[in-house]
Amino acid sequence: MDKMILTRMEYYGYHGVFEEERKLGQRFYVDLELELDLSEAGRTDQLETTINYAEIHEKVKEVVEKKSFKLIEALAECIASVLLDAYTGVHVLTVRVTKPHPPFDIHFQGVTVELRRTRK
């Protein structure tokens, strides 16, 4: 199966267990892997035969920047649901959400959750 991969899309959202995270907000990164048939797009060179990745970016932005979740697991699940509902040609979707600076008193570059959903 072919893949469309979108990496390190950056958004500002209001997600977290702590109240100040949901009030002040913070940066989040989203990576996507969409498994779908890209052969017609490759043959025809026509946008309408594929998925417009600028449109995907806007759909993810709508979820990350306009909703609020305590857990990035729930954020990732919502992104997956929105994209699978919108793009029926996607057979498998992998969503990675990274919180680059979690508010802990320990030092690491961030936390990432990854989920993989298959169309039923």
101 closest CA partner among 10, 32, 5: 10
73 closest CA partner among 106, 101, 95: 95
What are residue 31's DSSP bridge partners? 96
Which residue in the list 3, 66, 67, 99 is annotated as catalytic? 99
pLDDT digits (tens, 9 = 90+) for 74-92: 999 999 999 999 999 999 9
**Residue type present at position 67:** K
Domain total in the chain: 1
Q: pLDDT-based confidence at 96, cuts 50/70/90?
A: very high
**66 a catalytic residue:** no
pLDDT digits (tens, 9 = 90+) for 27-63: 999 999 999 999 999 999 999 999 999 999 999 999 9
Q: Residue 104 above 80 pLDDT?
A: no
Residue 86 token pair: 């919108």
For the question of whether the overall pTM of this predicted structure is more than 0.75, the answer is: yes
Question: In this predicted structure, what is the pLDDT of residue 90?
Answer: 98
pLDDT digits (tens, 9 = 90+) for 8-22: 999 999 999 989 889
The rounded Cα 65 to chain-centroid distance in angstroms is: 12
**Mean pLDDT score across all residues of the chain:** 95
**Residue type present at position 110:** G
Range of the domain at 13: 2-118
- Which domain CATH number covers 103? 3.30.1130.10
